[in-house]
């Protein structure tokens, strides 16, 4: 089996497979192909992947020849045209909002596992991409707000005086 890892084309810093997991798959006789630079923004250099026996390939080869494809964002119509029939894709495709894309995949007999459709239950928690990503986004939002806020967030008490804590309203869950 050939597993293909794509580089995300937008400014997303995530990668769909880290070197440690690639190593585990290679040891189980899975051939792992990765697009050059796919892990760079996630602090996983190509050399780390190649040390784990991951083969660097061009995007078109990965799209057209892999049996299982891992990606984060939906593919373009042109990329779907390169896929072979009965290929399997795992990613975050938001199928309820991308019906035309789903029809194109169905016409080519492509099997899609869209991780954003996994229910948010205890049993499926290890595969729940929405909760984990929302948690990270929320944490980052608070850090960003703290840098933009003109005062300190925590209360400071020193011999020179006290600074009261900031009062903020956080809207949302995740």
Q: What is the pLDDT of residue 58?
A: 96
Euclidean distance between CA atoms 62 and 53, whole angstroms: 16
Residue 174 has pLDDT above 70, yes or no: no
List pLDDT tens digits, range 145-164.
Answer: 999 999 888 888 989 889 89
Q: Mind listing the pLDDT tens digit for each residue in 13-31?
A: 889 999 999 999 999 999 9
pLDDT score for 126: 80
Give the model confidence (pLDDT) of 98-152 as tens digits: 999 999 999 999 999 999 998 888 888 788 888 778 888 888 888 999 999 998 8
pLDDT value for 152: 85
Note the pLDDT tens digit of each residue in 46-78.
Answer: 999 999 999 999 999 999 999 999 999 999 999
Q: Does residue 172 register a pLDDT over 80? A: no
d(CA 85, CA 174): 37
d(CA 75, CA 73): 7
Taking 70 as the threshold, does the pLDDT of residue 173 lie above it? no
Q: What is the pLDDT of residue 137?
A: 85
What 125-132 contacts at long range (C-beta under 8 Å, 24+ apart), as own/partner pairs, is: 129/92, 131/174
pLDDT at 136: 84
Kindly list the distances between the CA atom of residue 98 and the CA atoms of 15, 36, 68, 123, in Å, as whole numbers in the listed order: 22, 28, 21, 27
Query: pLDDT value at position 130?
Result: 80
């Amino acid at each position: 089996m050939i597993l293909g890892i794509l580089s995300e084309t937008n400014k997303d810093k995530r990668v769909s497979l880290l070197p440690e997991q690639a190593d585990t798959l290679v040891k189980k006789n899975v051939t792992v192909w990765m697009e050059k630079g796919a892990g760079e923004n996630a602090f996983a250099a190509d050399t780390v992947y190649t040390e784990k026996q991951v083969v660097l390939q061009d995007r078109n080869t990965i799209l057209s020849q892999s049996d299982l494809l891992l990606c984060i964002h939906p593919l373009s119509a042109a990329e779907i045209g390169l896929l072979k029939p009965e290929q399997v894709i795992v990613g975050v495709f938001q199928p309820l909002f991308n019906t035309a894309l789903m029809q194109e995949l169905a016409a080519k007999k492509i099997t899609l596992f869209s991780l954003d459709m996994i229910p948010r239950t205890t049993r499926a928690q290890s595969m729940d991409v929405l909760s984990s990503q929302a948690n990270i986004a929320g944490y980052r939002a608070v850090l960003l707000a703290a840098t933009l806020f003109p005062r300190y967030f925590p209360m400071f008490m020193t011999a020179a005086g006290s600074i009261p804590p900031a009062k903020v309203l956080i809207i949302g869950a995740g």
